[in-house]
């Protein structure tokens, strides 16, 4: 029996989700969202928060009934069994999570290089690899260190972002946020496909079930707490930025919009403060992105969705699944230009969310979930995915090709492993 000190608290579990969400999107999203929604980006974040909350309701109900280290994949398995749908979804999550984690690490490298080496490209890649290795080490040491590190990171990030939001809102010009300047409603809805990307990390909270003393009660609380914190922060930041800068200025600022918006009130110190915050946020997101790998791989190897090698503990401690994920992240960070294909992480995540809630329909009598809310969760995620495809992916051939490649690789890995396994040991138990 684990001692109480080894368990995470609700706050620590929630902060793993907050760290994954805040680090993954807010620093790069404002300019892109502003191009579509103008100064109504705050409304886009609010709508995205509602869509995420609907998914969170589904996940929380499933997590309370089926707490497992397998997280999201446990829920798919409960609805569809241990067959090919669950296996392909597992590989999809594993590969897509590596891409998103590598992208966040590259963002860390870019900020660190800009601050310390005058934006040297070689150093940017070196810093990216360094943060992946550092956070892999944190995860090898154990989940309690992950939780403690994430708590410190999130407190620093949230503290600075709260100061930023208060200062910018206190000095904002309400005329910049006047509804008369908003674009048509369809454009605001279209931008939700972008702002929803900033909420994707909340699914990682489901993997904390194995580290909670009472996951049935604590997991839903952690889910709602994380989504509540992220939504409030995002809306406040969007109001502060677009109330300080014109939409054109935000778009021109790109990924440094927060730093530029801080300058009028805080000067050069504000710019540096937001840059430091970006380092903490992206480090936290890298940490949170790697966290699910050990539990996910062990659960999937146990149900024979993954090869046994993925669950092996090297030296009795280091998860092979974690090390493989970290190695893939390093290769991606060094060898690929990730900003051109990063949007596939959003598309894959939305697809997985839809799979999970469809699976939830099949076990809703066991979880006690409301059918109407589940229907809204599927419909809203589907609407965001379709909007994302037709407003963003159609203009990014590299993203479409990468998305197809991820799908093909996931199917090939599942079919290849299961063909080899069943050839040697017979059909998988429970597969259908």
- Per residue in 161-214, pLDDT (tens digit) is 888 888 888 888 888 888 888 988 888 888 887 788 788 778 888 888 778 888
Q: Token pair for residue 310?
A: 């993925």
Q: List the one residue out of 157, 178, 147 whose CA is nearest residue 38.
A: 178
Q: Token pair for residue 365?
A: 């009598």
Contact call for residues 83 and 428 (beta carbons, < 8 A) = yes
Q: Give the CA diameter of the chain.
A: 70
Q: Give the domain 4-418 fold.
A: Amino acid/polyamine transporter I (1.20.1740)
**What phi and psi, each to the nearest 5 degrees, are found at residue 318?**
-80, 120
Residue 179, number of CB atoms within 10 A of its CB: 8
**What phi and psi, each to the nearest 5 degrees, are found at residue 216?**
-60, -40
Contact call for residues 242 and 177 (beta carbons, < 8 A) = yes
Residue 182, strand partner residues = none
DSSP string, 198-233: GGGGGGGGGGGGGGBSSHHHHHHHHHHHHHHHHHHH
pLDDT 10s per residue in the chain (432 long)? 344 457 888 988 898 888 778 765 676 677 778 888 889 999 999 999 999 999 999 998 988 888 876 777 788 888 888 788 888 888 888 887 888 888 888 888 887 888 888 878 899 899 999 999 999 998 888 777 777 787 888 888 888 888 888 888 888 888 888 888 898 888 888 888 778 878 877 888 888 877 888 888 898 999 999 999 999 999 999 998 899 888 888 888 766 677 778 777 777 787 788 888 888 888 888 888 888 888 778 877 877 778 888 888 887 778 888 999 999 999 988 887 766 566 677 788 888 889 899 999 999 999 999 999 999 999 999 988 888 788 777 777 777 888 888 889 888 888 887 777 655 555 554 444
Condensed to tens digits (0 to 9), the pLDDT of residues 333-348 reads 888 776 656 667 778 8
């Amino acid at each position: 029996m684990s001692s109480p000190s080894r368990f995470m608290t609700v706050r620590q579990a929630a902060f793993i989700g907050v760290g994954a969400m805040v680090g993954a999107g807010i620093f790069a999203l404002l300019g892109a969202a502003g191009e579509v929604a103008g100064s109504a980006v705050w409304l886009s974040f609010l709508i995205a928060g509602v869509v995420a909350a609907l998914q969170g309701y589904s996940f929380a109900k499933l997590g309370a009934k089926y707490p497992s280290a397998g997280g999201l994949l446990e829920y798919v398995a409960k609805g569809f069994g241990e067959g090919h749908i669950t296996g392909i979804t597992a590989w999809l999550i594993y590969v897509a999570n590596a891409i998103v984690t590598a992208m966040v690490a590259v963002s860390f490298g870019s900020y660190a290089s800009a601050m310390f080496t005058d934006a040297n490209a070689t150093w940017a890649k070196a810093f990216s690899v360094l943060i992946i290795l550092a956070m892999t080490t944190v995860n090898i040491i154990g989940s309690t260190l992950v939780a403690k590190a994430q708590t410190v990171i999130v407190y620093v990030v949230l503290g600075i972002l709260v100061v930023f939001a208060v200062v910018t809102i206190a000095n904002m010009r309400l005329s910049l946020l006047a509804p008369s300047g908003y674009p048509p409603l369809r454009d605001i809805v279209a931008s939700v496909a972008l702002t929803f990307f900033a909420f994707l990390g909340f699914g990682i909270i489901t993997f904390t079930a194995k580290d909670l003393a009472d996951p049935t009660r604590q997991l839903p609380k952690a889910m709602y707490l994380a989504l509540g914190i992220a939504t409030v922060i995002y809306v406040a930041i969007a109001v502060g930025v677009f109330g300080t800068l014109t939409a054109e200025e935000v778009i021109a600022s790109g990924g440094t919009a927060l730093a530029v918006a801080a300058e009028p009130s805080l000067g050069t110190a504000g710019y540096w403060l937001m840059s430091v915050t970006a380092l903490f946020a992206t480090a936290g997101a890298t940490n949170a992105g790697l966290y699910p790998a050990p539990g996910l791989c062990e659960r999937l190897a146990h149900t024979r969705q993954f090869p046994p090698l993925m669950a092996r503990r090297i030296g009795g401690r280091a998860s092979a699944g974690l090390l493989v994920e970290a190695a893939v992240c390093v290769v991606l960070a060094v060898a690929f230009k990730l900003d051109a294909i990063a949007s596939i992480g959003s598309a894959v995540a939305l697809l997985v969310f839809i799979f999970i809630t469809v699976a939830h329909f099949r076990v809703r009598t066991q979880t006690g979930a409301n059918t109407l809310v589940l229907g809204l969760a599927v419909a809203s995620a589907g609407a965001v995915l379709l909007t994302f495809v037709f407003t963003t992916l159609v203009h990014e051939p590299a993203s479409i090709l990468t998305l197809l490649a991820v799908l093909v690789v996931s199917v090939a890995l599942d079919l290849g492993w299961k063909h080899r396994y069943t050839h040697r040991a017979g059909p998988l138990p429970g597969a259908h």
